[in-house]
Structure 1
Amino acid sequence: MRFSTLMPLLLAAGVAQAQFGKGKGNQNQNAQNQNAQNQNAQNAQNQNNNNQNNNNNANANALALDPNNVQTNSQNDGLADAEPGQAASATDDANFINFCTGETLTNGLQVKAGSCNGIPMGKIPASNQMVSAVMINPVNGDQIAPNLEINFQVKIANLQAGSFTNPDVTYYAAPQDLQGGQIVGHTHITVQDTGNDANPTEPLDAETFAFFKGINDAGDGQGTLTATLAAGLPEGFYRVCSMTSASNHQPVLMPVAQRGPQDDCVRFEVTANPDNNQNGQQAQQGQGQQAQQGQGKAAQQGQGKAAQQGQGQAAQQGQGQAAQQGQAAQQGQAAQQGQGKGQGGFGGKGKGRRNRFASRQFVA
């Protein structure tokens, strides 16, 4: 073969080999790139799975009771050291976390048919931070004109007032909490008609009230809280009470059983004649004084009569029938005076008693 023919053939073979080798290199590179992409995708998927598992574990932990929160006395019915008449406590190994299973849940609602609330009671203050209240308007026995504005006022110690959650969807939905050691919450004013008597002997119907107001502000900053009833009240006898709650409307919880109450009540009267009580008392005093005066006069006159009788008898012995006649006249006159005055004194007493009875009907 001539040289001129061999050279083109060798050149063609070299080009072909070069192209073939280059293509094979590209395929290897592509394979490596594909493997890297697959590895990255797998790693990403694994990471996502791990994240999902972590989230699931977190959610599962939120629904689990932390062993550090188990209260072991809830496992004790208390009868071992009980005094006579004390009842056995219910027990549970897990803080009663499933106590409401199968029951209608409160779930932040005011369920009139009754429900079960699984929310913890919450934080309890120290005994030197217990809530205490006193009504300052009206005061016990006050008389108030009908259908006029009334500012009910209560002063409360150891309450961080002004925290009032939405009672339509958060009723009993969170535990009692503290701020600076004091309960965070608010109070209410509730007024009930006690009927025809300021001091009823039967419990009032808790579903019936003349006025109710939750106070959702912090008051004057010194513990005094006010609820205003612009329309006032009709005539009658009433009881007004404070009703103090934590933020989510549950009654405030105290640390010890032996204590003073956290709320206060007073009785008052709404009347168009607010001075009747005072007039009645004045009438009683005046009539009592008259009765005492009448009795005193009758006693004095009776003594005078006895003295006159003694003198008359002495005169009868020493002076005769004329003295007897004088004695008789004196006795008759003294007797008439004594009898008349005595009847007047008794009448005074009788009249006073009747007025006192009538007056008591107006005591609030």
Structure 2
Amino acid sequence: MASTSTSSFDYASQQVAIYLNGFNLIIGIPGGFLNILVFLSLKTFRENTCSFYLIIVSCLNVGQLLLGALSRFVISGFSIDWTIMSRPYCKLRIYLFQTFSLITLTCMCLATIDQYFATCKRVRWQKWSNITTTRYLTAITIIFWSIFSILYPIYYDIVLSLTTNKLSCMNTNPTFDRYNTNFHQIIMQGFLPNFLTALFGILAYYNTKNIAYRIVPLVRRELDKQLTSMLLVQVIFNTFSLLCYNIVSIMGPYINTSKDPVVLAKFRLVQIISYSIYYFYPACPFYIYVCVSERFRRQLTYVLFVKVFKHCKRLQLAANEVEPQP
């Protein structure tokens, strides 16, 4: 009876992993590229400091989906685990995924803080929101987390898992595993970025409610309102996605000590669901922006049907030109 229940939960875990991760890939990768296209195509966004962070986030979100959601989809759907086929890939994947994740979360924090400074009524604080500072902070963030994440390929390797009795790309150092579980996953990738983005997102939203009473150019005022509303809704969505993952990470060390195979199978299902929900935050920003901001919808339409169409037409005319005969 227990083996039947275990098999049922394992089958459910497999199906959840296939469909939820497949869904994340189908919507997330095109959405990420559309975000990049809109942000880079319009001068309004290219010259804005908050948008600069969102461009970095959009690029790395695509990377997270390819490294994380795609691997889980292939493992569950086709029983192909690339991480146990190649030791270098095992180490490179965990390094890039952790680096991308930390840079993304940091840039989201910096974007909300920057938007708070940009909408602040104090001119001295507004000066902190400038493109030079933004580029320096982005470079420091990328360099710092790239160096910090070197610990992951050092301690991750292909080993025989004691719980599943199968080869797995996993952490081989107990001390680093405790740090990763109790601090990194819960604090660095959860409660700390959630707290900072929520705090400054709400403060920036409060600033935009009073921005109409200040002497601010109309274009800048509308852009600040647009970006703040987009960020605030994304922060709320990210908090939900990361919170599920954080709660399961806290429960994991206690439930994995159980000797009951049914309990472990149930928890594996909960883990798969939380991991799949985790990938909602890199998969859904584009659709959040489209739903929240009417201005973003108009900008998207303009980029796709005016700028891209004109560019394709120019390329077609150039290809059809016939050089004059000598």
TM-score (norm 1): 0.17
Whichever structure has more helix as a proportion of its residues is 2
Please tell me whether Structure 1 or Structure 2 has the larger radius of gyration of its CA atoms.
1
TM-score (norm 2): 0.18
Whichever structure has more strand as a proportion of its residues is 1
Higher relative contact order (CA 8 A, sep 6+): 2
